[in-house]
Amino acid sequence: MGNMNNSEYHSLINDSLAYIKELLPTKDNIPKVHPPPTPTKPKIASKPPPPKPIVETPPTPVLDQEKEEPGKTFIELEIPKSSPPQPNEEARKILKEIAPDLYYHESIPSDYKAKRIKEAWKEKRSTPAIPILFQGMQFRSFVQRIAKAIDTVYGSCRLVEINPQKKWDLFLESENLKLIIAPDTLIFGNKELLPFYQETPQQKKRTLGTIPLLLLPDLSLYYKDPYLKRSLWNVICNTINSLPSS
């Protein structure tokens, strides 16, 4: 190339450029390149609006007393109390003529006697021959075993609860009663039973009303000394066997 002149050198450059242009594609053959589509933004679900606060409507205030209008009065209607019809003098005369032996009551007679007869019937029917009066839970199992033993050997024995509602006068009138057994503390500490208690020291006899009474000492003693349980059973048997036969 050192022997080339300037004209030859320029001619070579032009031929090279012409050759390169032939190799390049024309504008018509250049494929159109479309820009990629703009990505759409994803739809973001809108948050639901917060719930409205529930506001309870305050109750309508109730006035203690309504204001009375002047000149306006309120009349309260009351149910009249019913009273038994009172016969007049003429009706009385007619009754005396028709039934002279009939007693006329000025007021309604009391049903006290009828109620006592009804209660006495219930009391007498449920009364055992040998009741053991008792109250509370302390030593109850021990007394229940005594009642069961008496009921097995002699029959008709059970615990009778002491309570203020008990009709003791009707209870003591029962024909079923043969003997009453009770802790001494219950008899002497009960104001309903104590009036019926009677004692004859000379005969060593105790009764509740007219019914023979066997008093039990402090029940805690039988737990301290088991031999006392045997002696208690002997006393009970001797007392029952000494009762008059019905």
pLDDT digits (tens, 9 = 90+) for 134-145: 998 999 999 999
- In this predicted structure, which of 105-109, 128-132, 170-174, 180-184 has the lowest mean pLDDT? 105-109
Q: Are strands 130-134 and 157-161 parallel, antiparallel or unpaired?
A: parallel
Q: Is residue 172 within 8 Å of 209, Cβ to Cβ?
A: yes
* Angle at alpha carbon of residue 123, lines to 119 and 127, rounded to 5°: 175
CA distance 196 to 238: 24
DSSP result, 208-219: ETTEEEEEE--T
The C-alpha atoms of residue 21 and residue 34 are separated, in whole angstroms, by: 25
57, amino acid identity: T
- Identify the band that residue 56 occupies on the pLDDT scale cut at 50, 70 and 90: low
Res 53: pLDDT? 61
How would you write 18-45 as a 3-class SS string? HHHHHHCCCCCCCCCCCCCCCCCCCCCC
| CA separation for the pair 236, 238 (Å, rounded) | 6
Q: Length of the chain, please?
A: 246
What was the pLDDT predicted at 163? 86
Classify residue 145 by burial, with Cβ atoms within 10 Å: 0-12, 13-18, 19+.
exposed
Q: How far apart are CA 194 and CA 209, in angstroms?
A: 10
This prediction's pTM? 0.53
- Return the bridge partners of 214, or none: 181
Looking at residue 158, its pLDDT comes to: 92
Q: In angstroms, rounded to a whole number, what is the distance separating the alpha carbons of residues 180 and 129?
A: 8
Q: Does residue 68 carry a pLDDT above 70?
A: no
CB 158 within 8 A of CB 128: yes
DSSP state of 194: G
Average pLDDT, the chain: 77
First to last CA, the chain: 169
Per domain, the residue ranges of the chain are 126-241
Q: Read off the pLDDT of residues 121-176 as tens digits, 9 standing for 90 and up.
A: 565 667 899 999 999 899 999 999 999 999 999 988 999 998 887 888 888 988 88
- Rounded CA-CA distance 93/99 in Å is 10
Question: Is the per-residue pLDDT at 45 higher than 90?
Answer: no
With a CB cutoff of 8 Å and minimum separation 6, the contacts of 11 are none
In this predicted structure, what is the pLDDT of residue 127?
86
φ and ψ at residue 206, rounded to 5 degrees: -125, 140
Predicted pLDDT of residue 94: 76
Q: Is the pLDDT of residue 216 over 90?
A: yes
Q: The tokens of 113 are what? A: 């006697």
> pLDDT tens digits for 73-94?
556 666 666 665 555 677 777 7
Q: 119 or 154, which is more confident?
A: 154
